[in-house]
């Protein structure tokens, strides 16, 4: 009997070891090219004079619509940022100090950390042929304001006062289509880069302007900057809205989704690279980055 | 002589279509209808439904040909795991010009599961950037 003991111990160890090996294998099978997930917040639609949180808390139909939209994201394996939780957090942090309600919305956009906002509106429609609910969904890039997806969904009409059920039906009939459209825009960003905007200006005390010739380059600053943009924007895509002696406005440029190491490429990094380039020309600058909007001020 | 038309979406994640197919016998015609339905859903989209855009975005596929996983949808056996019901319409009007046996089939496809599998096989990108 004792002769079998080493085998029994070995067998026990194998049994214990096996699950660990399986876990490791499963971990290796996770696709390397997992998409970078943007942060998405589903918010209620509110007019400029309305407080979004109050609107949501007072409107049961809207709450159902918002929840159903979040559910649709969940079904695609995507977690959204909870609006009410984030508002509560912001209010605790600083929004309590604010008097203006419309500024809360702007504050939310800037501080929520959400890359994409999905605005949800639910309207009740009563008629002699039955009642219905119309749901409007609008997704936009929180940083650039770029519209990503828009859909209107109508529930079937029933002789009922259960508008929550009708709101569910309206969202169910459009959510997939809405997410597919959103995904098309994401695919476009993967292929053509993420949009951003750039504004280069001069400090008041600066002796330079866009027409200044840069030492050792024998070209105007605006020309040098344009060449740099062509080399550093994703696939060389940028669109100059206008150039004056004091300003260079790029209303749209494209940034890569990730760098060579697969890490997210942020507008802050683009701004840092541009500042380094300006420094190499002997020009000092300051930068301000708000989402996808980059402001460079040459000193 | 085949067609795939939207019928209804009565449960989240599923899609019901009416698909037709032809073959040497009834069995083959039903199989052809099934393959036609999946081909339409994958490569063309189903007009009138929430899946009017094709599931496969060719911009991300191989530069030539197609992903090897997609070959399974050329056969009814590859499509069947994603079918929740299949019902042959017995009194279907045979279109003029249809050769051999003709079948009109109401198919209910579990699109959510199909999409999940295509994502898992890295045929399509998961939701996100």
Give the residue-averaged pLDDT of A108-120.
77
pLDDT of residue A95: 44
Nearest CA in chain A to B125: A35
pLDDT of residue A162: 94
Residues of B in contact with A187 (CB under 8 A): 57, 59-60, 125
From the list B49, B44, B46, B41, the residue with the least C-alpha distance to B82 is B41
- Beta-carbon count within 10 A of A206 CB: 16
Contact B26, B100 (CB under 8 A): no
The chain-wide mean pLDDT, for chain B, equals 90
pLDDT tens for residues A212-262?
888 888 889 999 999 999 999 999 999 999 999 999 999 989 998 888 887
Cβ-count burial A135-145 (b if 16+ within 10 Å, e if not)? bbbbbbbbbbe
Q: Is the minimum CB–CB distance between B121 and chain A shorter than 8 Å?
A: no
Beta strands in A167-206 (DSSP E): 194-202
Q: How confident is the model at residue A6 (pLDDT cuts 50, 70, 90)?
A: low
Q: How far apart are CA A291 and CA A115, in angstroms?
A: 8
Q: Report the residue from B12, B122, B127 with minimal CB separation from A183.
A: B127
From the list A137, A116, A119, A118, the residue with the least C-alpha distance to A194 is A116
Q: Is the minimum CB–CB distance between B85 and chain A shorter than 8 Å?
A: no
Residues of A in contact with B52 (CB under 8 A): 177
For A217, residues 6+ apart whose C-beta sits below 8 A from its C-beta are A224, A281
Phi and psi at A168, nearest 5°, equal -60, -50
A106 vs A98, higher pLDDT: A106
Instruction: List C-alpha distances in Å: A134 to A149, A163, A295.
Output: 17, 10, 40
* Three-state SS letters, A141-155: ECCCCCEEEEEEEEC
From the list B110, B108, B114, the residue with the least C-alpha distance to B7 is B108
Pairing of strands A194-202, B4-8: unpaired
Q: Report the residue from B59, B111, B129 with minimal CB separation from A35.
A: B129
Q: Is the minimum CB–CB distance between A78 and chain B shorter than 8 Å?
A: yes
Structure tokens given for A251? 């209303």
Give the residue-averaged pLDDT of A14-36.
42
Query: Best interface-test mutation with B: which of A180, A195, A292 has the largest number of B CBs within 10 A?
Result: A180
Contact A148, A182 (CB under 8 A): yes
Residue B40 has pLDDT above 70, yes or no: yes
Contact A206, A247 (CB under 8 A): no
pTM (whole model) above 0.80? no
- Residue B129 to residue A173, Cβ atoms within 8 A: no
Residues of A in contact with B125 (CB under 8 A): 35, 183, 186-187, 190
Q: How far apart are CA B41 and CA B50, in angstroms?
A: 11
Half-sphere exposure of A138 (CA within 13 A, CB side): 12
Least confident of A8-22, A85-99, A210-224, B50-64: A8-22
Structure tokens given for A156? 């079937």
- Residue B129 to residue A180, Cβ atoms within 8 A: no
Q: Report the residue from B50, B125, B128 with minimal CB separation from A176.
A: B50
CA A65 to chain centre: 21
E strand or H helix that includes residue A224:
helix A221-232
Give the residue-averaged pLDDT of A163-184.
93
Max mean pLDDT range (A35-39, A85-89, A177-181): A177-181
Residues of B in contact with A179 (CB under 8 A): 127
Interface size between A and B, measured as CB pairs under 8 A: 60
pLDDT of residue A230: 95
Least confident of A3-12, A179-188, B95-104: A3-12
């Amino acid at each position: 009997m004792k002769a079998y003991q080493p085998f029994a111990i070995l067998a026990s160890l194998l049994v214990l070891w096996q699950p660990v090996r399986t876990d490791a294998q499963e971990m290796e099978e996770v696709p390397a090219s997992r998409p970078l997930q943007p942060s998405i917040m589903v918010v209620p639609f509110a007019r400029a004079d309305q407080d979004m949180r109050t609107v949501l808390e007072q409107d049961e139909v809207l709450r159902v619509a918002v929840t159903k939209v979040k559910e649709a994201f969940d079904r695609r394996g995507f977690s959204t940022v909870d609006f009410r939780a984030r508002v509560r957090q912001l209010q605790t942090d600083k929004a309590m100090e604010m008097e203006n309600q419309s500024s809360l919305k702007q504050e939310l956009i800037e501080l929520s950390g959400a890359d994409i906002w999905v605005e949800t509106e639910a309207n009740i429609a009563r008629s002699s042929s039955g009642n219905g609910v119309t749901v409007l969904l609008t997704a936009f890039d929180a940083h650039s304001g770029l519209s990503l997806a828009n859909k209107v969904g109508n529930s079937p009409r029933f002789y009922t006062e259960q508008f929550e059920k009708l709101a569910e039906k309206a969202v169910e009939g459009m959510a997939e289509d809405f997410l597919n459209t959103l995904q098309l825009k994401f695919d476009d960003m993967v292929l053509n880069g993420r949009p951003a905007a750039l504004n280069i200006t001069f400090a008041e005390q600066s002796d330079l302007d866009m027409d200044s010739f840069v030492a050792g380059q024998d070209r105007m600053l605006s020309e040098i900057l344009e060449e740099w943009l062509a080399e550093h924007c994703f696939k060389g895509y940028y669109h100059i809205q206008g150039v004056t002696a004091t300003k260079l406005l790029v209303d749209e440029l494209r940034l890569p989704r990730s760098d060579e190491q697969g890490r997210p490429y942020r507008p802050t990094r683009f701004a840092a690279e541009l500042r380094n380039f300006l420094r190499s020309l002997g020009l000092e600058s300051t930068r301000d980055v708000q989402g996808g909007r980059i402001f460079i001020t040459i000193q | 002589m085949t067609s795939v038309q939207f019928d209804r979406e009565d449960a989240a994640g599923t899609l019901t279509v009416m698909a037709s197919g032809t073959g040497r016998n009834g069995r083959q015609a039903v199989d052809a209808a099934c393959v036609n339905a999946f081909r339409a859903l994958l490569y063309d989209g189903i007009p009138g439904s929430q899946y009017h855009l094709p599931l496969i975005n060719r911009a991300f596929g191989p530069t030539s040909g197609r992903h090897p996983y997609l070959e399974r949808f050329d056969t009814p056996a590859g499509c069947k795991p994603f079918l929740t019901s299949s019902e042959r319409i017995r009194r279907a009007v045979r279109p003029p010009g249809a050769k051999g046996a003709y079948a009109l089939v109401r198919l209910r496809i579990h699109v959510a599961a199909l999409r999940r599998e295509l994502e898992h096989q890295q045929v399509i990108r998961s939701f996100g950037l």
